[in-house]
Structure 1
């Protein structure tokens, strides 16, 4: 092909051209109308509270009046040196691991069983999804009755088996395992719905072609369906990780962090040792650490996993 017949190279529009295009199609007007209210709300309810928390973290303050007793990094030193904080961090990590290793595979297995559009599957989806739409406090109260050694389901089991009554939520070694059971029960339906939506987008012709080639059901799942829903799995894992950092409402009605402070997570630790004891400066320090961890997790997860899943 001669130089005279070669197509002209693609030229990226300059700033002035992009501005004229934005004005002509109405995007600039929409941004000028919608962006300022969003920025104001985000500043009032996110940026300012975060900034104030970062400021309070360097004071010994009970929440009344103006913070005046500057203590520097003392709140952070007390937090990292507190044995209960170590327990809270360990429990948060346990929830994260259980969410990734138990909750997500269970949700994927159930999604593979009920993702097709049938009346029976619709009923099962509803049954599995109901725990998620239930309020966390209500779920915690229901399970506190289930685990009650005097009047709950465990009491009935003990009576039927003729053994002594046992109190799971009062046992230092078993209480947190009971909490993890409740967390898996409560949230697996959410992940299941994510997988169902993704599985319904897998082309049927790909599955049929795999069947014609002699692939088994397990091979179809492993080599056809899971690769197609990898972005959904990455999103589900992200929600599981962030959710593990935020667990609070379920633990309060179940154990309130007990027995002997063995079932605290980072958020319940903040609530118990910061807010309820009117140590707002100390609680702000815990909140700052939790915020930094959440941001780091979000940034690195986005860079390391979300892009790979989308590619």
Structure 2
């Protein structure tokens, strides 16, 4: 007959964990703080998600109760719509640019200004200001910058003696302008994540590498980058999820134009769902976006986050 392990390394049972939680006050704090959070999360997240899942199968304009059940027709129309293909492709492009341009730029600047000096603190503030600026305000500012009549591009064209050009009205150039704004707007957030992580790298390891004759590039590659790998993994995750949700910058900048060439999935949902009172169709788009975001989050957590945190 086997005996129950009584070694000090044995995992405590449920009753023992509850007793410890009650003694240190964690149980009381959980009972007080958890119910309001669950109620708010259920009312403002879970219920709207559930309702969107139901409305996606109806042809509904948002007034009254949905009655015209259409099955999967909203999804068929969405996947067959050429503008949705453009919006999905643009969203993928934003993800790629965020990973290959925005994050390396943020890491490079973080490596340059992570040390605690007054000058570096000033540069951090300058680079972080775009992130704390409201997205709508950033979009309006850059719409003026790209304005071919009165903006910065007009001044450049006049000074060079060339014809004025309208970036946001060009089908080929407009989305590149959007990506420039997105990189400018959000790289400061990732830079601050890297700065916080770099300040936690032990100085003695950096000094030991310098004594051994390691170059600056070797120190970054073999000492600093391995230490901040968890921060990089978190930054990549935020970048991907954020790219799937880009909306506020594009609406004041291009409103999805010209000719629907700068839509993302979220702006597509807004334009072809909400503004046209096709709430059922918009709900179908939202369901697809939610599924994609959940799949990305689950697989990223299971694969990359575990490797970053061995």
Q: Hey, what's the Cα distance between the residues in 1 that align with 2:14 and 2:192?
A: 43
Deviation at 1:8, TM superposition (A): 4.8
What CA distance in whole angstroms lies between the structure 1 residues aligned with 2:177 and 2:268?
A: 19
Counterparts of 1:10 and 1:50, CA distance in 2: 43
SS class of match (1:263): coil
Q: Which residue of 2 aligns with 1:201?
A: 200
For 1:30 and 1:119, the matched residues in 2 are separated by 40
The alignment status of 1:231 with 2:234, answered yes or no, reads no
Aligned residue number for residue 250 of structure 2: 251
Matched residues in 1 for 2:39 and 2:241: separation? 25
Could you tell me how far 1:9 is from its partner in structure 2?
A: 6.4
Q: CA deviation at 1:25?
A: 2.5
Alpha-carbon shift at residue 232 of structure 1 (Å) = 0.5
Matches for 1:77-226 after TM superposition, within 5 Å: 77-226=76-225
Distance 2:32 2:153 in 1: 58
Answer with 11-20 or 143-152: which moved more.
11-20
> CA offsets per residue over residues 82-134 of structure 1, 9 Å max, x none?
00000000000000000000000000000010000111111111111111111
* SS of structure 1 residue aligned to 2:295: helix
TM-score under structure 1 length normalisation = 0.96
Q: Partners of 1:254 and 1:9 in 2: how far apart? A: 62
C-alpha distance in 2, partners of 1:10/1:213? 41
The 2-side partners of 1:133 and 1:21 are apart by: 42
Match of 1:64 in 2: 63
Helix, strand or coil for the counterpart of 1:261?
coil
Give, in whole Å, the separation in 1 of the partners of 2:211 and 2:9: 44
- CA offsets 1:23-71 (integer angstroms, 9 cap, x no match): 2322222221111111111100011000000010000000000000000
C-alpha change, 1:20 and 1:160, in structure 2 (3 Å) is same
Deviations 1:204-247 (A, max 9, x none): 10000000111000000000000000001001101100010010
Structure 2 distance, partners of 1:13, 1:220, is 43
- 2:260 corresponds in structure 1 to 261
**Cα deviation 1:157-191 (Å, max 9, x = unaligned):** 11111111110000000000000000001111111
Mapped to 1, the partners of 2:154 and 2:17 lie a distance apart of 70
Structure 2 residue aligned with 1:52:
51
> TM-score under structure 2 normalisation?
0.96
Q: Which runs of 4+ in 1 moved over 6 A?
A: none
SS in 2 for 1:38: helix
> 2:3 maps to what in 1?
none
Q: CA deviation at 1:15?
A: 2.3
SS of the counterpart of 1:286?
helix
Contiguous gaps of at least 5 residues in structure 1: 1-6
